[in-house]
Structure 1
Amino acid sequence: MEFRSREGEARYAAFVEQAASAVVGLDFDGTLSPIVEDPDQATIHPDAPDVLVGLAEVVAAIAVITGRPARQALALGGLDEVGRAIAERGKELYIFGQYGNERWSSTRRRIISPRPPQGLASFVRSLPGVLRRHDAEDAHVELKGLAVAVHTRRLPDADAAYERLLPPLRALAEEHDLVVEPGRQVIEIRSGGMDKGHAVRTIVEELDAQAFLFAGDDLGDVEAFDAVARLRDEGLATLLVCSGSDEQRALARLADVVVDGPEGVLELLRRITKDAAG
């Protein structure tokens, strides 16, 4: 674990002091779950359930804010059971799926979701032709219901394929009034008007949180980092955590703390739990 500056250390101390009224926001892939080639095979770190339940003893709420569908995050993370254990302690676990378009909580225990965006079905019909023309027809296409993600991780030169596909996929998305969300060797296409930053602001307002921590690992988390930075300017105690990635140095530069992947995230959460408990 590396504090980026003395200011980062001070922000950690201020967050711990306000822990009882704090919300901890966490990305899923690369933060709670190691990155794998097949996104359907991702699993939460085995220590995460116990760490999250322990953390719930000292904070107001925990929110998993992810690009994945909420139902998928619940299944891959065993988060339904984690939420049940957290609820037994009088606290709340939230899942904001698909960048905040879907919502689940350990109290309501059902997913609230809008209809798929207009234009997504026609985008999907045009997608195979774009992949074929740009020598990426073996890219893994993940249909999420409210979005579609094109993963280049399985291709021979994943980074080159990503750079090759980003411009045409962005152009195709614009034709269908959709937006592009770049990630770590994944390009996601979805409706506009909702992002992780909006989810951060929503939960802070609803819970009247006095402190907020967000941990993420790639460009899809920049909006959340920006939202937390604005909350800091408004007087909240905040902490920004980058789940370290050589691929996303830009996110690391925005962080107060850089940790070594999901293992490092859990180490930090254990430390917060211990320090906040006094």
Structure 2
Amino acid sequence: MRANTTDGLKAIVADPAGAVIGLDFDGTLSPIVADPAAARIAPGGAEVLTRLGGLIGSLVIVTGRPAAVAVEYGSLAAVPGLVVLGHYGLERWEAGALAAPPVHPGLDEARAGLLALVAGLDGVRIEDKERAVAVHTRQASDPWATLEALAEPVAALAASAGLTVEPGKLVLELRPPGIDKGVALDAFLRERAARSVLFAGDDLGDLPAFAAVRGSGLPGVTVFSGSPEIEVEADLVVDGPTGVLELLSSIADAIEKETAG
């Protein structure tokens, strides 16, 4: 554990009202599964977040999924004070209300183009997120070779439709430009006048949020919960969603102990 990690965790425990804890969903709270529609929060996850949400200033999930889907798949509607920033920050769910901009006009072109690109490719599937669209190769016979073969035509399609490509583990997602998890997290930290921050993620799309933690000037902790397939510089590396929930539980334990003392 790095020295700044210890400082960041101490700051969260000493001043929980000023803390922002940010989390990705897939691979961080929910195990990665072959079918994204089958993803659900790890056992005990909703209970851990409910406990933590009652102890800290701000708890936020920043995900590429639609915000309402993350709330549903995580059974998170009752977590106190939770904010979910979906589609990398385009959507905001808070206290049961969802705010979102109009759908990008290039998405119809992107959907049609992706369907044409993957026609006849066994195991390749399209995930329509309404405000983004993704192509997954996890179930292809050679997932990484298929992803590499699709990278250039998908990039060309995104450029034509006025979208950007967000790469991840065996997925290429086309989404509106100008927003990422770093932009979303940075704005949230300023909105909440944060005094410390932790962000946990598992994929390439989480790297801008890690950068936002480092660039915030706050006592901060970055937590990587992914696989060795992706090399990420983080303050802590934990074993998937189980490790994330164990860390969050230990933070809650420490806050309660500090408060009782």
TM norm structure 1:
0.88
Matched, 1:116 2:103: yes
| TM alignment of 1:153-192, pairs within 5 A | 153-192=138-177
* SS of structure 1 residue aligned to 2:165: strand
1:62-108 per-residue CA deviation (whole Å, 9 max, x = no partner) reads: 1011000112111111111x33xx1xxxxx100101111110112xx
**Gaps spanning 5+ residues in structure 1: where?**
87-91
| TM alignment of 1:1-278, pairs within 5 A | 3=1, 5-80=2-77, 82-83=78-79, 86=80, 92-106=81-95, 109-132=96-119, 136=121, 138-232=123-217, 236-249=218-231, 251=232, 253=233, 255-277=234-256, 278=258
- The CA deviation at 1:128 is 2.3
1:89 counterpart residue number: none
Which amino acid is the alignment partner of residue 42 of structure 1? A
Counterpart CA distance in 2 for 1:128 and 1:137 is: 13
Counterpart CA distance in 2 for 1:221 and 1:158 is: 21
- The CA deviation at 1:194 is 1.1
- Which is helix-richer, 1 or 2? 1
How big is the alpha-carbon RMSD for the aligned residues of Structure 1 and Structure 2?
A: 1.4
1:84-142 per-residue CA deviation (whole Å, 9 max, x = no partner) reads: xx1xxxxx100101111110112xx211111111211012112222224xx63541101
* SS of structure 1 residue aligned to 2:229: helix
1:199-221 per-residue CA deviation (whole Å, 9 max, x = no partner) reads: 11221121111111100000010
* SS of structure 2 residue aligned to 1:94: strand
Which amino acid is the alignment partner of residue 16 of structure 1? V
* SS of structure 2 residue aligned to 1:35: coil
The answer to whether the Cα contact below 8 Å between 1:16 and 1:276 also exists between their aligned partners in 2 is yes
* SS of structure 2 residue aligned to 1:130: helix
Percentage of matched positions with identical amino acids: 42
Counterpart CA distance in 2 for 1:208 and 1:118 is: 35
**Gaps spanning 5+ residues in structure 2: where?**
none
